[in-house]
Structure formats: structure tokens, C-alpha cells
Amino acid sequence: MNSEFDYIIVGAGSAGCVLANRLSENENNRVLLLETGGSDKSIFIQMPTALSIPMNTDKYAWQFHTDPEPYLDNRVMHCPRGKVLGGSSSINGMVYVRGHAKDFDEWEEHGAQNWSYQDCLPYFKKAEQWYLGGDTYRGDDGPLGVNNGNEMKNPLYRAFIDAGKEAGYAFTNDYNGAQQEGFGPMHMTVKGGKRCSTARAYLDPVKHRKNLTVVTKAKAQKVVLENKVAKGVQYRVGGNVYTATATTEVILSAGPIGSPHLLQLSGIGDKSHLEGAGIECQHELPGVGQNLQDHLEFYFQFKCKQPITLNGKLGLFSKALIGARWLLFKDGLGATNHFESCGFIRSKEGVEWPDLQYHFLPAAIRYDGKSAFAGHGFQVHIGHNKPKSRGHVLAKNSDPDTAPQIQFNYLQHQEDIEGFRACVRLTREIINQSAFDDFRDEEIQPGSHIQTDEQIDAFVRQAVESAYHPSCSCKMGEDDMAVVDSQTRVHGIQGLRVVDSSIFPTVPNGNLNAPTIMVAEKAADHILGKEPLSKASAEVVGDSQWATRQRSASF
């Protein structure tokens, strides 16, 4: 196992599986893919409706926790990350959101050259197999299957969209197309009724390649450096430690927690921090582990007048029927993540593009799959998605088995607090539109008594949860705190790259699996020295009067 390869990829997750596929297309490239976890073939991973199980299972996820968050009443927050083939794409909610076009233009403004929306769109399309066929914005022959689940059969999904329209917001038929802003159907990475993780989409079809070696249960210890050149990776399988040599490059795709931690364990990071952790500094790069960002959200829950919600499907008999149908036919309620309608709006006038995101769910239920109350209900997940607050990931010592310190500093910034006040007030207005009159009953959470700024702030501090979108901890750019350049190469180290959501300069308005896959597709061309795909010239639709109004039914 002390072998030589051209490329070593650490982490078989949303980015790593993409890279393993693309880099091994050339049979002359010897590629090693290292993954700490194991097989993704569990029914709980493959069946979309079981999404709450793998992220809460030690076997499939790193069960990271933050230090007490000082602006959330010192709450300790859960931060699970994938530890299985497919990484977090095997444990996530399967929601497919690319982000707003302006999010990627923002990346370029932060120094990520040639990462504008028009640069990135061709790679989104390359990755995707959209169930309605390709067009200017959507791909039709990529590995990643994307659809709308059960086509919003439950009437509550359309009630949510109609309520958004009644409240004065636009309708968008495709928020991943020209117009993100508005209310419409939501998309998911499900294909043939099964979770379409990157393990399934990118890795399974190429496992047979003789030039691709996949080693599971392999915990990376550090990058082997010689005179600021990455020579390989030291990793452990069971009780044995091995060293694999890379003749061309080492690529870290261990995620927004794992990649900065591994860089620090390898002696790359802020010198004073490394020395304090007992790690010899090999290369000073102060931005490693800094700029950490995440999305927060809470559930706005209501009781439902009609017995049409998923709360009526939580009994053992109902679950057995759903599971049996899925096993036999790969359809029905087992074949969806249940987030089938959504909304993207702006929190206030003067915000140029959407900073609030809605996931609608025809159930009142927690992420751990437990019912919120006895009876029928529905909820909408709402969060402020362009946070100003920043945190860090820091190695505590030189032991790879010691989890790093994680601190997001959630709601440190006043604008984030105000964003969540808007979440409460705007959502309450939307749900109280006439479209919900036949369904809406008592407000469960926050509760109608929560009205003032002070009451909302106190509720939010106690109710918000991570949306599981950590990112930006090895940001791309050219400033003093950037970790990688626009080619994803680690500044100052030869033969070493980082390719995953940690290199985002800023967090996009949306879930992160889609942009992470896009980043890996684009980075693969950089790594292989290919000409980038031709820049797009797609129209982007937004409100031209954003500076003076918060909503518009049409643009």
C-alpha cells in the first residue's frame, strides 16, 4: 500500500468523487482516492425519505459540534459531515440549489478570477441531467440526476407557492434558471427514485478503471511536504500507517472542516496558532481555517386543519408500507425528500438579490425525524442566507483523531440579526394569505405571542439550527487571507490543491451540494490543464427596482 500515484485525492465526497471520475478518464493518470468512511449502499442512504437517519448516524457522519456559540446563548451546535462514499452528498437533504448568479459574480469580486456566473454555468450544466431536458440553463446528459420528486402531489406545496404570489412575490418556474427570486417548485438530486449522490453519479460508473484505486476506512494524517512541495499523503488504515506518493499533485477534498484541519496538521496555517497547538509550521498561511461561514434556519410551524400531512405517515405500519413500495417500485413517498416547493426572496429593499430561502415541508417534524406534536401540521424552513458573521476551524493539537475547534460566531453581526427578524415577519405574512385558509390552523412556532424585536431575537437564538452548509474556510482569492488561487492551488505550496466548499470566497444563497459539484467539475479542467468550457452569455432576471422595493410580482 506504499504506492506511487500521479494524483492523490483525500475525501470521496461531493467534490472528491467528481475529481476521481474526471482525473481517471485518461488511462495514463494513476489516481488514488482516500475515504475515511465505507460503503454507501445502506437503504437509509439510498432511500430519499430516510434522509434524517444517515446524518445522525456515527457510521456515516462525523458528528462534529461547535464550541459554545456566544451569540446563540452559548448553545453548542451540531455540525455533521459525511463520512462515507459520497461524503455529505450521501447524508444531505438532496436539495439542488445552485445559488443566485450574483453569488458567483461576488466570488470574482473577491479575487476568484474567472469564477463569475457565466464562467460557472457551463460546469453546472456539464454535471446535470435535468429530468425535463436541457436548455440554456439546464444540462441533459451529465451524471447528476435532478428532478422534482413527486411533482407536488400534496396540495400544501401549491398552497405555499400561491401564498407567495398573493403576498406580492413573483413566481419562478426554475430558480436554477434565469430567475431565482420568487416561489416555485424545488429540485432534488434523486434519480430513478434513489438518492443521486456523487458516489452513485460519478464513482460507481468508473470503479472498474484499472488506473483508479479507492481505499476506504483510510484516515489521512497529513500531507507529506518537502521544501514546500507536496510529495504525498500519510494515512492510516486500521492500526497501520502508510504513505502514498504523488508524482503530480495532492488534492484535498475533505470538506470545510476536514480540509483546513488537514492543512494545519501538515504545518500549513497561521504560525502562532500552529505553534500553540504543538505543530511545526512548514508554511505560514494565516487564512487556513478562517472565514468560516454557514447558513442558519428555523422551522415556522402551523397546525393543519386537514389530515393530509406527513404527520399521519409516521406510524410503524405506514412507514412499512412506504418502505415496501419503495423497495418494489422506487416510487411513492419513499422516493422524495418532501421538499417540493420553495421560495427565494429579499429581506428588505436595498438588497440586490435574494438573501432569504424557504424549504416547504408538508409536515411538522424535526430533523431527527421526530414529530413536533400530536396531530397534523406543516412547516417552512426559513433562513437568512447571506450572513456577515465569520468563524474558524482550528486544530487543537497535532493528533489527527482530535476533532478541531469549530466556532461559527453565528449572529455576531447586527445585519444577520435583522435578517432573521425579517424571516419571522415576512413568513408570518405569507402563511396568512388566503391560499392557506383551508389548511392553516394555530401557529405552533414561533407562536403568535412572539412579536417585538426583542421577543423575535430571543426566539431565534434558541430556535435556529445549522442548515448544514459550512464553507469558505480555505477561501479562494489573492488577498492575504486567501488559501488557494483561482486555479485552486494552495498559495506557496507546489503540487497541492484544495477542491471543495471550503474554497468558496462567500457562501451562496442556497444549499451547497450543487455549487460544490460545479467547483469540482471546473477544478478538474484546471488540474488537467484543459481549456475551460466556453463562457456562457445567459440572461439573468432580477428586480430592476431592488433599491427601492422589497418585492414585486413581476420584473
The residues that are catalytic are: 469
C-alpha–C-alpha distance, residues 271 and 274, integer Å: 5
Residue of 128, 516, 152, 512 whose CA lies nearest to 342: 152
For residue 419, the Cα-to-chain-centroid distance in whole angstroms is 20
H or E element at residue 169: none
Collapsed DSSP state (helix, strand, coil) of residue 476? strand
Spatial distance between the Cα atoms of 555 and 542, rounded to a whole number of angstroms: 7
DSSP state of 497: E
> Cβ distance 147 to 188 under 8 Å?
yes
| Inter-residue contact 112 to 476 (CB < 8 Å) | yes
**CB atoms closer than 10 angstroms to residue 452:** 10
Distance CA 529, CA 526 (A): 5
Nearest to 218 by CA among 400, 55, 80: 400
Strand residue runs (E) in 305-355: 341-345
DSSP 358-390: EEEESS-B-TTS-BSSSS-EEEEEEEE-S----
* Phi/psi of residue 183, nearest 5 degrees: -115, 140
Residues 191, 330 contacting (CB under 8 angstroms): no
